[in-house]
């Protein structure tokens, strides 16, 4: 009888050990499945985010860059034309003045539109995100606008001064578009760790606005 009881106890222990192993196996299986599903969810979320950026944000940024670049090109070319007209007026070049007088009227209106567009469309500094290149551009186009608007004619010396400011402004635009393109390209390369895109610094200013500010 005692031997039968002992065998029964051994069987119970084996059953308990088997049940315990099954329980542990079930727990391990549950957590393994949980972490696999969690990984799948993270990958799916990352994929959706990547698709959203690739299909929406990056193209929108690229469209904005293209638009600002076209407007900047129009603005600077208009500035060169207006400046040339004012120099011709200063030199009393009647032939040039008469030939381009009507064009000047249209370009002055267009110049004003482009100036205000660029003032609003360029990036603004916010928080720790400094937009030094954009601020430099705003200073340059403000100087250009004030000088082209306030002079019906210019001397050669004044012409050369404004010409240098326009050229300096053009260099700043080139850096801005390079930085913005690098930022747009980085959006297409999503990773778990946010990597800061290094920006090119503002070019050294060699014109009359180097010691001026927007305020």
Is residue 173 in a domain? yes
* pTM for this predicted structure: 0.71
The answer for residues whose C-beta is within 8 angstroms of residue 131's C-beta and 6 or more apart is: 122, 123, 124, 125
pLDDT at 119 over 80: yes
Please give the pLDDT value at position 22. Answer: 75
Is residue 198 in a domain? no
Is residue 98 in a domain? yes
The DSSP element (H or E) to which 215 belongs, if any, is: none
Q: Report the number of distinct structural domains present in the chain.
A: 1
Domain of residue 174 covers 60-183
Is residue 41 in a domain? no
Is residue 103 in a domain? yes
pLDDT digits (tens, 9 = 90+) for 128-181: 677 899 999 999 999 999 998 866 888 999 999 999 999 999 999 999 999 998
Please give the pLDDT value at position 193. Answer: 46
């Amino acid at each position: 009888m005692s031997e039968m009881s002992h065998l029964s106890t051994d069987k119970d222990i084996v059953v308990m050990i088997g049940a315990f192993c099954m329980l542990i196996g079930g727990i391990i299986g549950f957590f393994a499945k949980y972490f696999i599903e969690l990984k799948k969810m993270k990958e799916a979320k990352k994929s959706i985010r990547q698709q959203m950026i690739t299909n929406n944000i990056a193209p929108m940024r690229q469209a904005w860059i293209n638009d600002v670049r076209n407007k900047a090109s129009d603005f600077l070319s208009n500035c060169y034309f207006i400046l040339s007209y004012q120099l011709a007026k200063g030199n009393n070049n009647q032939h040039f003045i008469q030939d381009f007088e009507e064009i000047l009227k249209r370009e002055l209106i267009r110049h004003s539109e482009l100036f205000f567009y660029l003032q609003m469309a360029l990036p603004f500094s916010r928080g720790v995100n400094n937009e030094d290149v954009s601020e430099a551009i705003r200073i340059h186009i403000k100087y250009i606008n004030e000088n082209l608007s306030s002079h019906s004619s210019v001397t050669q010396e004044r012409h050369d001064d404004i010409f240098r400011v326009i050229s300096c402004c053009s260099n700043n635009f080139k850096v801005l578009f390079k930085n913005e393109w690098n930022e747009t390209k980085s959006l297409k390369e999503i990773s778990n760790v946010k990597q800061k895109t290094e920006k090119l610094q503002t070019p050294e200013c060699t014109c009359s606005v180097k010691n001026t500010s927007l305020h």
